[in-house]
Amino acid sequence: MAKIQAVDFFCSGGGMTCGLRQAGINVIAGIDSDPTCQDTYEKNNPGSRFILADVFKLKEKDLQKKIGIKKNDKNLILIGCSPCQFWSVIRTDKKKSEKSKNLLIEFKRFVDYFKPGYVLVENVPGILSNRKKSGLDKFVLSLEEKGYAVHCEIVNMSDYGVPQSRKRFSLIATRVSKNKISLKKKVAKKRLVKDVIGVENGFARVKPGHKDKTFFNHSVAGLSEKNLNRLKQTPKNGGSWLDWAKNKNLKRKTYRGEGFKDNYGRMSWNKPAPTITTRFFSISNGRFAHPVENRAISLREGATLQTFPKKYVFYSNTTENVARMIGNAVPPLFAKQLGQVILNSEK
């Protein structure tokens, strides 16, 4: 049997690539328009080439020449896990992410041209609730017209061993078989925050603003005096801002639905973490405070909750760039299971 190969569009720092390689799939290349991802992608995934390109400008024939993939290759997977914050249910400034709304449509060009054996798509759940505007309806219909068996659903990755409640739209399409491919085996017991972070899991107690100069990158964002005092008043292990909501020195300017309800909250040891976003290093952007320490979770803690191996090094000098690579990633553990189910479908 020929070895399955893959091309990872919108690869960022390589979460999907890492997981597929763990499953035994040869990821030829990752494509992304962010040059700050290249070192992280290539140094952690040796042999997988990083291609710096804007998918809106990249031509199908040019990609074919660059990496030598063929049309109609049944042993090829094309992966399109675009960072489509435009369709996210989280209320953010949609103007900043407007370009991302058409990434699935652009990815479709490459699927139409190469007609690979398999197609993988992972995205925010909002792409399904906006299936016409996002281009999902046309994408799925086009696959089915080409003879693909298409399975798509909303999954919570905590059901597959990822220690966070991360709901995502997942699509697996195959034209190698008439049978749809899906992830069926859910874990009997979900992994919790206490299972992966904390002192007993190798994470030293640190203070806000701690800079880890090693490759482990247990670095933590600083806190203003007010936010530090807010955390001191937030109950350990899952507490929220409601406990200081009426304190005139600490209270937020808005409570009533204007802000994301989990802002300034602590994670709970005994639950999966909330979705790790690109702003997980900031307590004002979600329930990203450590369960007991008065700080946000560190960059390495965020990466671990995303199931990146602890030896996976993020090569960037800025917190924002590292957090973006981590938050945008498909958790490698989930990607590994996608790879395994594809490989098992060929047996």
Catalytic residues: 84
Cα–Cα nearest to 126, from 275, 292, 231: 275
Alpha carbon distance 339, 23 (integer Å)? 5
Exposed, middle or buried: residue 330 (CB in 10 Å: 0-12, 13-18, 19+)? buried
Exposed, middle or buried: residue 346 (CB in 10 Å: 0-12, 13-18, 19+)? middle
Exposed, middle or buried: residue 228 (CB in 10 Å: 0-12, 13-18, 19+)? middle
Residue 150 · residue 140 · CB < 8 Å: yes
Which pair of structure tokens corresponds to residue 321?
């760039």
Q: What SS3 string covers the chain?
A: CCCCEEEEECCCCCHHHHHHHHHCCEEEEEEECCHHHHHHHHHHCCCCEEEECCCCCCCHHHHHHHHCCCCCCCCEEEEECCCCHHHCCCCCCCCCCHHHHHHHHHHHHHHHHHCCCEEEEEECCHHHHCCCCCCHHHHHHHHHHCCCEEEEEEEEHHHHCCCECCEEEEEEEECCCCCCCCCCCCCCCCCCHHHHCCHHHCCCCCCCCCCCCCCCCCCCCCCCHHHHHHHHCCCCCCCCHHHHCCCCCCCCCCCCCCCCCCCCCECCCCCCECCCCCCCCCHHHCCCECCCCCCECCHHHHHHHCCCCCCCCCCCCCHHHHHHHHHCCCCHHHHHHHHHHHHHHCC
